[in-house]
């Protein structure tokens, strides 16, 4: 049992700092290593513009024993969708996009196969009926976003009733990323747009498409032991003739048991906007800390308060019938459900990622937070014990 009164310097595996009053957060984070078997992780909290908690611990690479450092980068998987949401909101604020306009207004080829009436709001709310790619893909195809955008433009919407509200694990990124490229005056890719319009002004160590000089800082992902067994059991229950499931989850398999493609430098360098973002927890917390303050931090404004409010306005809610999970979305951001994935506040929003990472904002408390880790646990939205205690302690610390 970790000592609840020990300073950070005496807590095994944990380094960094925390402001006075955030000691319960430190203890909850330390307990994840001492009692819950975490491998390597970082936790950061920005409270009313100040970096109040900046912690890290464990190892960045289990095979070599390389320790997690203050600047270790982490693949955040679907946490990337929150980055894309910010880019979409910027273009909406500038009048380059509108939620109720057809996607084909900016991307004419998208009107093919009866999709002329699909609106921008459908892409960001996961109601576009395009959760997967029908054309058979090889793993290498994931690294060429414009080619997949072309395939999606030519593809009809799914008529399977489950597709009416279905999480778009990777197609969200390809669809919105191409729309950003078409709507941006300079025709920038989603990675370049984010780097120039968001990361640079805010001083963020976040990338959609990692420059090679940062590769050595990326942690090495690992499955928990349970992952391989549970994923095989889950796949065994799926009808082999289920074309929708196959297009979403097995085209190609995103997390094959025998390998971890997401550890490869070519995956890190590619602009996989649905799940390939790489960041430090410190920078993710700063971004959401900015959003929690209405789009401004340290005198730098990236969005107007009304645009941030639009971003967290509910556009869709229900049960994703492919996964069985309750989901709710604003403009690309996930909103709270009964699961309270983003901690106790009802107005919380953000986006989580495969395996356990969570990044979000609490507007009423003016808090942005990020918890990123390199051990992927099976279905953490249901029973991963690492995040909930930390967010409960954080809520207590900020007067929740």
Which residue ranges make up each domain of the chain?
70-359
Residues 67, 37: contact at Cβ < 8 Å?
no
pLDDT of residue 397: 97
- CA dist., res. 316 & res. 258, Å (int): 36
Active site residue 78: yes
- CA dist., res. 302 & res. 270, Å (int): 25
pLDDT of residue 6: 53
pLDDT of residue 218: 98
Q: Is the dihedral of CA 372, 366, 332, 82 positive or negative?
A: negative
| Six-digit token string for 137 | 């893909």
pLDDT of residue 9: 56
Q: Is the dihedral of CA 302, 352, 286, 368 positive or negative?
A: positive
pLDDT of residue 258: 76
Q: What are phi and psi of 253, to 5 degrees?
A: -55, 130
pLDDT of residue 11: 60
β-partners of residue 189 are none
pLDDT of residue 161: 96
From the candidates 78, 189, 283, 357, give the one annotated as an active-site residue.
78
- CA dist., res. 88 & res. 74, Å (int): 23
CATH topology of domain 70-359: Beta-lactamase (3.40.710)
Q: Is the dihedral of CA 144, 147, 153, 154 positive or negative?
A: negative
pLDDT of residue 5: 46
List the chain pLDDT tens, one digit each, 400 residues: 344 445 565 566 799 999 999 999 999 999 999 999 999 999 999 999 999 999 999 999 999 999 999 999 999 999 999 999 999 999 999 999 999 999 999 999 999 999 999 999 999 999 999 999 999 999 999 999 999 999 999 999 999 999 999 999 999 999 999 999 999 999 999 999 999 999 999 999 999 999 999 999 999 999 998 887 777 777 777 788 899 999 999 999 888 877 899 999 999 999 999 999 999 999 999 999 999 999 999 999 999 999 999 999 999 999 999 988 999 999 999 999 999 999 999 999 999 999 999 999 999 999 999 999 999 998 655 657 899 999 999 999 998 7
pLDDT of residue 230: 77
pLDDT of residue 228: 76
Q: What is the dihedral of CA 103, 104, 108, 114, to 10 degrees?
A: 120
pLDDT of residue 4: 43
pLDDT of residue 8: 63
| HSE (side-chain half, CA atoms, 13 Å) at 304 | 7
pLDDT of residue 378: 80
């Amino acid at each position: 049992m970790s000592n609840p009164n020990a300073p950070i310097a005496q807590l095994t595996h944990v380094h960094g700092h925390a402001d006075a009053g955030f000691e319960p957060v430190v203890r909850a984070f330390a307990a994840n290593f001492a009692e819950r078997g975490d491998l390597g992780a970082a936790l950061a909290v920005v409270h009313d513009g100040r970096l109040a908690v900046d912690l890290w611990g464990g190892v960045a690479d289990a095979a070599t024993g390389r320790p997690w450092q203050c600047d270790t980068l982490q693949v955040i998987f679907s946490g990337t969708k929150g980055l894309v949401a910010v880019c979409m909101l910027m273009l909406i604020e500038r009048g380059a996009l509108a939620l109720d306009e057809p996607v084909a207004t900016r991307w004419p080829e998208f009107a093919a196969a009866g999709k002329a009436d699909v609106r921008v709001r459908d892409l960001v709310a996961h109601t576009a009926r395009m959760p997967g790619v029908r054309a058979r893909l090889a793993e290498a195809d994931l690294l060429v976003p414009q080619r997949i955008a072309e395939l999606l433009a030519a593809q009809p919407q799914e008529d399977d009733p489950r597709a009416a509200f279905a999480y778009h694990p990777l197609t969200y990124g390809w669809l919105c990323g191409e729309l950003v490229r078409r709507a941006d005056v300079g025709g920038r890719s989603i990675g370049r747009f984010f780097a120039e319009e968001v990361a640079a002004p805010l001083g963020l160590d976040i990338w959609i498409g990692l420059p090679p000089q940062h590769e050595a800082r990326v942690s090495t992902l690992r499955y928990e032991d349970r992952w391989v067994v549970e994923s095989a059991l889950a796949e065994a229950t799926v009808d082999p003739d289920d074309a929708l499931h196959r297009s979403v989850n097995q085209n190609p398999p995103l997390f094959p048991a025998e390998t971890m493609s997401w550890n490869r430098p070519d995956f890190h360098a590619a602009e996989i906007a649905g799940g390939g973002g790489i960041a430090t927890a410190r920078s993710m917390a700063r971004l959401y800390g900015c959003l929690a303050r209405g789009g401004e931090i340290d005198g730098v404004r990236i969005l107007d308060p009304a645009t941030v409010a639009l971003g967290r306005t509910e556009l869709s809610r229900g049960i994703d019938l492919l996964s069985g999970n309750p989901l709710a979305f604003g403009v690309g951001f996930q909103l709270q459900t009964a699961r309270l994935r983003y901690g106790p506040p009802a107005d919380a929003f953000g986006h989580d990622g495969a395996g356990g990472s969570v990044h979000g904002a609490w507007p009423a408390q003016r808090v942005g937070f990020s918890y990123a880790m390199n051990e992927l646990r099976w279905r953490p939205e249901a029973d991963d014990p690492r995040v909930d205690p930390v967010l409960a302690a954080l809520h207590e610390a900020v007067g929740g």
